[in-house]
């Protein structure tokens, strides 16, 4: 009958192992249930949802000269997203830039991206973050120029920027 007592010992070891694993299994089940409820209630956030408004292209003093285009970007989503580029079929290359002032003199520093915070706004300005473009010739006040804003995670946003005087771009 050594077989029976060997089987009984094995059963006791299995039962003991199951009892010792039970708290870890229960903790995992409770954690998974809590995470599921949190996500279902919207606690895990939502993707970025960016809208673009107030697009303005500054009329350059010299036709065809470099100028700035600025936008207001509102993110109503629950995640940040990055503006990574701006394009236009009417202009040359568009570069994201930030004004840097050192010793009273300003210069432009190119940037790779600009974050639009979750539930927040990014307001571009010719005195801060803007997009530098070689303006097409023949621009006139009130004209609309098409642009596409490209984001790291979200779809491109298309907008028409109105041509304004420099004093109306702030």
Q: Above 90 in pLDDT, residue 47?
A: yes
Dihedral angle sign, alpha carbons of residues 27, 28, 34, 38: positive
- CA nearest neighbour of 80 among 26, 42, 29, 120: 120
Q: What is the pLDDT of residues 87-116, one digit of tens each?
A: 999 998 999 999 887 777 777 889 999 999
Q: What is the distance between the alpha carbons of residues 8 and 20, in angstroms, rounded to a whole number?
A: 18
CB-CB neighbours of 84 under 10 Å: 15
Domain positions in the chain are: 1-44, 50-168
Secondary structure element (H or E) that encloses residue 115, with its range: strand 114-116
Fold of the domain spanning 50-168:
Immunoglobulin-like (2.60.40)
pTM of the model: 0.72
**Residue indicated by tokens 């409820």:** 37
Q: What is the distance between the alpha carbons of residues 124 and 160, in angstroms, rounded to a whole number?
A: 15
The answer to whether the beta carbons of residues 67 and 133 sit under 8 Å apart is yes
Q: Above 80 in pLDDT, residue 37?
A: no
pLDDT (0 to 100) of residue 169: 76
Ranking 28-32, 75-79, 150-154, 161-165 by mean pLDDT, the lowest is 28-32
Q: Give SS3 for 8.
A: helix
User: Average pLDDT in the 135-146 region?
Assistant: 93
Q: Report how far Cα 141 is from the mean position of its chain's Cα atoms.
A: 31
């Amino acid at each position: 009958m050594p077989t029976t007592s060997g089987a009984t010992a094995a059963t006791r070891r299995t039962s003991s192992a199951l009892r010792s694993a039970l708290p870890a299994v229960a903790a995992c089940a409770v954690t998974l249930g809590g995470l599921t409820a949190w996500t279902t209630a919207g606690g895990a956030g939502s993707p970025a949802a960016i809208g673009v408004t107030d697009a303005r292209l500054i009329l350059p003093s010299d036709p065809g000269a470099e100028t700035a285009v600025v936008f207001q970007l509102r993110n109503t989503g629950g995640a940040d997203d990055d503006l990574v580029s701006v394009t236009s079929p009417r202009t040359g290359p568009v570069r994201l830039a930030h004004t840097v002032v050192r010793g009273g003199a300003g210069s432009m520093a190119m940037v790779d991206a600009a974050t639009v915070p979750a539930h927040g706004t990014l307001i571009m300005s010719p005195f801060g973050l803007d997009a530098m473009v070689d303006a097409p010739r023949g621009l006139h006040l009130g004209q609309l120029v098409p642009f596409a804003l490209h984001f790291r995670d979200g779809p491109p946003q298309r907008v028409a920027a109105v041509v304004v005087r420099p004093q109306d771009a702030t």
